[in-house]
Amino acid sequence: MSAAASISLSAKMSRRWRDPAAWATTVDIFVILIALSLPWSTSLVGIFAVALLVTLAPFLDVKAFLRSLKRPICVVPIALVALAAVGTLWSDAPWGARLYAVGPTAKLLVLPALFYHFERSTRGLQVFIAFLISCTVLLAMSWIVAFDPALSLKSGATYGVPVKNYIDQSQSFALCALTLAYPIVMLLRTKRILLAVLLIAVSLSFVVNMAFVVVSRTALVTMPVLLAVFALLHLRWRSIVIILCATAILAGLAWETSPQLRRIGGTFSRDYHLYEEQNVPTSLGLRLEFWQKSLRFFAEAPIFGHGSGSTRGLFEQAAIDHTGAAGEVIDNPHNQTLNVAIQWGIIGIVVLYAMWWLHLLLFRGEGLIPWIGLMVVAQNIFTSLFNSHIFDFHEGWMYVIGVGVAGGTLLGASSREAALEPGNSVKP
């Protein structure tokens, strides 16, 4: 390479380095990479999340960002993290446990950054497409591993689960299957049949995999609720009746032909009776045991809770001189509300519910992006009845990416519409 060419390349690189648009594109790329890696890896998500924040910083408009932090949709997640940090002061748990309990809330601090960035970016939809593509590839791998477990990407993998676990996989598949319902209906209404049929095939593929390969009971319980939300919001009553009848027929066929569904359905009754009659620590029995004890812990410190990281110590004390389900010790009561209530009392519950409510209100409008955001929040709320999905890694990041990207995209669209109204000046 000649000296002149080398200088020219160096000058181009220098201009790119100082170009805010290039940095903004890099942020978009890292968010897309998070969406692509989320169904597969935890470490990659952490790496890309740090890279996202680092690349966002150089050309950050500090004043605009600080103004955006005053929005209630930003205040509440920050408040929940702050409450977790302050809650370490009145906890009786060892300091290691207190600080460890703050960690699962920290991902919520990425939400304001995503709101800010995607208010200015136009690549929000690409993030969701990347997540759908990644989940579709995982779906193919799930079928492959179901037929040949030796091809799994992890040792000791369970049937049809190539990476992570069946709960995380089911949550991703359920979200994709249900979220595709909106674009399918819109495409059918505009007579774009070929693309609609393609998306129907993809959506049904997720459902068939959950019916015949593996599904979590949480997804099995919450999917009908989310489907009902879609029907009530976007279908006419005649269509709702038709959909209900078709769903009932398909569910009946799936039940009769899928040993997997019958086995999971039968575990509800079996687990309850084993727990109630023999104190056996079944999955359902343990949840009932954890919830009963959690309510008692909450009643002991209803306002401020027992402090961050206190949950395991409370369960250890309650398990003394007990066996079976009553003797189990855990640091997660498998219910988001109770998890928060034990540690931070009514104050924590108010902050958590305010966050869910404000984020739901953010997605009131019509369109694909509001529908995606609504499904992400609604799924998190309903599945958090049986798990602590804000604090869990996979489901928590699904919430952060889904709400942050969809919310920022909507805020940007609203800002651009307001700028184009008569009497408002449009900045170049």
pLDDT value, residue 75? 95
Q: Say what percent of the chain tops pLDDT 70.
A: 78
What is the average per-residue pLDDT within 284-302? 84
CB burial string 132-152: b at 16+ within 10 A, e below: bebbbebbebbeebbeeeeeb
pLDDT in tens, 19-36: 777 778 889 999 999 999
Q: Binning pLDDT at 50, 70 and 90, where does residue 212 land?
A: confident
Which residues lie below 8 Å from residue 193, measured CB to CB, with a gap of 6+?
187
Biggest distance spanned by C-alpha atoms of the chain = 84
**Residue 426 region by backbone torsions, left for phi larger than 0, else alpha for psi between -120 and 50, else beta:** beta
Ranges 201-210, 280-289, 343-352, 358-367, most confident = 343-352
Q: How confident is the model at residue 427 (pLDDT cuts 50, 70, 90)?
A: very low
Q: H or E stretch including 332?
A: none
Confidence category of residue 3, pLDDT binned at 50, 70, 90: low
Residue 191, Ramachandran bin (φ over 0: left; ψ between -120 and 50: alpha; else beta):
left
Token match 């609609």: residue? Answer: 196
Q: Is 402 exposed, middle or buried (0-12, 13-18, 19+ CB in 10 A)?
A: buried
Residues in the chain: 428
Residue 80, C-beta contacts closer than 8 angstroms, at least 6 positions apart? 105, 108, 348, 351, 352, 355
Q: Is residue 381 part of a domain?
A: yes
pLDDT digits (tens, 9 = 90+) for 38-62: 999 999 999 999 999 999 888 888 8
Q: Is residue 352 part of a domain?
A: yes
- Amino acid in position 146: A
Helix axes 193-212, 181-189, angle to 10 degrees: 150
State which residues form the domain around 314: 61-108+296-416
The reply to whether 388 falls in a domain is yes
What's the sign of the alpha-carbon dihedral 341, 344, 349, 353? negative
Whether 191 maps to a domain, the answer reads: no
pLDDT digits (tens, 9 = 90+) for 386-409: 888 899 999 999 999 999 999 999
- What value, to the nearest 5°, has the Cα angle with vertex 264 and ends 262 and 270? 100
pLDDT of residue 214: 74
**What is the number of structural domains in the chain?**
1
70 in a structural domain: yes
User: What are the structure tokens assigned to 385, written together?
Assistant: 């009845």
pLDDT of residue 352: 96
* 284 within a domain of the structure (yes/no): no
Q: Is residue 304 part of a domain?
A: yes
pLDDT band at 170 (very low <50, low <70, confident <90, very high): confident
Q: Is 173 within the bounds of a domain? A: no
Going by C-beta distance under 8 Å and a sequence separation of 6 or more, which residues neighbour residue 276?
Answer: 285
pLDDT at 426: 41
Confidence tier at 251 by pLDDT (50, 70, 90) = low
The amino acid that residue 418 corresponds to is A
Instruction: Give the global pTM.
Output: 0.86
For 102-119, the pLDDT digits (tens) are 999 999 999 999 999 999
Three-state DSSP at 334 gives coil
pLDDT digits (tens, 9 = 90+) for 333-356: 888 999 999 999 999 999 999 999
Q: Across all residues in the chain, what is the average pLDDT? A: 82
Which positions ≥6 away from 259 have C-beta within 8 Å?
none
User: What is the spatial distance between Cα 376 and Cα 364, in angstroms, rounded to a whole number?
Assistant: 13
Query: Tell me, what's the pLDDT at 272?
Result: 55
Are the C-beta atoms of residues 291 and 310 closer than 8 Å to each other?
A: no
The tokens of 415 are what?
Answer: 């800002």
